[in-house]
Amino acid sequence: MKNVRYRKVQEVGRGTLTVSLPKNWAKKYGIKRGSFLSISERSDGCLIIEPISEKVEEIKKVSILCSGKSIKRIEWEIIGAYLLGFEVIEINAKERMEAEIRSRIKTVVQNLIGLEILEENSKRILINCLLDHSAVNPKRLLEREHVITMSMHKDVIHALIEGDLNLAKSVMNRDDEVDRIYFLTVRLLRSAIQSPKLADKFKITPIECLDYRLASSLIESIGDYSADAAKASLKLLENKNLSNITEELKLLSNILCKMQNSAVGAFMARKVKLVEEVKVKLNNKLSEVLKNLDNAINILPSDVISCFLAILSSFEKIGKCCIDIADLVIPLEWVGEKWKKL
């Protein structure tokens, strides 16, 4: 925290407590005798003092020069600017912007929630973020991300059982939506860390923002692994004779869904009992069913076995992500001044 100042609390009159304001701060914002200040209390007990004025907040702008850069580099600079909370992103080129670059820029914009192209000419594209941060809550986004990714690995297994190629393809398409939610979550959490008032509105402390960022990343990884499993299943589904492992696949789906539900539920509600369920009970069951499937596929053709092993590897990684999410749980009684010795 920059410019930390300490003030001694004084008592005036009959028990009225006062604290003097820093002179430079008061001068900067035109505070004088008779001025009104806005004082609000955060959930952690901190007081936020703000001058009441018609001040216009500075809009965060960034300019990106695309000349001489690869398309991939331009894409990542736009995404980086989005994650850092820039509200205006200006893309410029020294010469006429190539059609392929222009097309890829528009694709990136479409994949980032809240971004819109407001102006465009042969050498320039102006992008604005029209999103109201206070109207979206990271907790709700995390829940949405969780629901989508859980449906993804559930549908991969269902596609394997039913031999449904279209269902497997739909899982791969859903991964794009998960990425959009994840990027928006990161943007909001970064903004909340920089703005205590916004964090208080989200009912998330700045420290908790770090855990939510990691939890969101782990859930996004579950989406990636589910998409990988779906991609591998497209080759596997050419062989429809998987009847000998149908029951094991159903059991696998049930365990993975329970693991993810319990892990996310434990994280959101700080339910310590669910952590043990994920890390011990369900993890042991997952290891057992994966081992059974590994043994059962030995009778399949060699090319099918390699595809199936890739799928099982993805499911194993999903289980590990669930354990990592559960590990983020901090018992409620440990928070604040209520730390207890173990």
Residue 3 resides in a domain: no
Q: Which amino acid is at 47?
A: L
pLDDT band (50, 70, 90) for residue 207: confident
Measured in residues, the chain has a length of: 342
CATH of the domain at 95: 3.30.110.10
Give dist(CA 195, CA 204) in Å, integer: 11
Give dist(CA 30, CA 27) in Å, integer: 5
Locate tokens 């410019």: which residue?
3
% of residues, the chain, pLDDT over 70: 90
For residue 51, give the H/E element and its range.
strand 47-51
Residue 282 resides in a domain: yes
Same domain (yes/no): 240, 142: yes
Most confident of 2-11, 42-51, 108-117, 142-151: 142-151
Same domain (yes/no): 47, 148: no
Same domain (yes/no): 248, 157: yes
Average pLDDT over residues 259-275: 93
| pLDDT tens digits, 209-220 | 999 999 999 999
Which pLDDT value is given to residue 53?
A: 58
* Residue range(s) defining the domain that contains residue 319: 135-331
Number of domains in the chain: 3
pLDDT band (50, 70, 90) for residue 36: confident
When comparing pLDDT for 43 and 142, which is higher? 142
Most confident of 26-30, 53-57, 222-226: 222-226
Give dist(CA 116, CA 126) in Å, integer: 9
Which residues are CB-contacts of 89 (< 8 A; sequence separation ≥ 6)? Answer: 61, 62, 64, 78, 81, 82, 115, 126, 127, 128, 129
CATH of the domain at 250: 1.20.58.220
Same domain (yes/no): 212, 275: yes
Asked whether 97 and 125 are in contact (CB, 8 A), the reply is yes
Locate tokens 């994650």: which residue?
83
Same domain (yes/no): 78, 223: no
pTM over cut 0.75: yes
Same domain (yes/no): 262, 147: yes
Give dist(CA 163, CA 242) in Å, integer: 9
Residue 283 resides in a domain: yes
Which tokens sit at 236?
Answer: 């596997």
Which tokens sit at 184?
Answer: 């928006």
Same domain (yes/no): 193, 265: yes
Query: Residue 51, Cα to own-chain centre: how many angstroms?
Result: 34
Which pLDDT value is given to residue 339?
A: 42
Give dist(CA 336, CA 87) in Å, integer: 34
Which ranges of the chain would DSSP assign to H, the alpha helix? 23-28, 71-83, 99-110, 138-162, 165-194, 196-202, 206-236, 246-269, 272-276, 283-296, 302-326
SS (H, E, C) 282-324: HHHHHHHHHHHHHHHHHHCCHHHHHHHHHHHHHHHHHHHHHHH
Answer whether residue 31 shows pLDDT above 90.
no
Rg (CA), the chain: 26
Q: Which of 129, 153, 169 is the last residue of a domain?
A: 129
Residue 29 resides in a domain: yes
Answer whether residue 1 shows pLDDT above 60.
no
Same domain (yes/no): 20, 146: no
Give dist(CA 203, CA 317) in Å, integer: 31
Q: Half-sphere exposure of residue 148, counting CA atoms within 13 Å on the CB side? A: 26
Residue 243 resides in a domain: yes
CA-based end-to-end distance of the chain: 31
Q: Which of 104, 129, 154 is the last residue of a domain?
A: 129
Residue 223 resides in a domain: yes
Which residues are CB-contacts of 82 (< 8 A; sequence separation ≥ 6)? Answer: 89, 112, 115, 129, 183, 187
Same domain (yes/no): 212, 314: yes
| pLDDT tens digits, 73-86 | 999 999 999 999 99
Average pLDDT over residues 9-13: 73
For residue 108, give the H/E element and its range.
helix 99-110
Residue 56 resides in a domain: no
Residue 36 resides in a domain: yes
Same domain (yes/no): 216, 164: yes
Give dist(CA 16, CA 139) in Å, integer: 40
Per the rule left: phi > 0, alpha: psi between -120 and 50, beta: everything else, 173 is alpha
Asked whether 48 and 39 are in contact (CB, 8 A), the reply is yes
Give dist(CA 291, CA 301) in Å, integer: 18
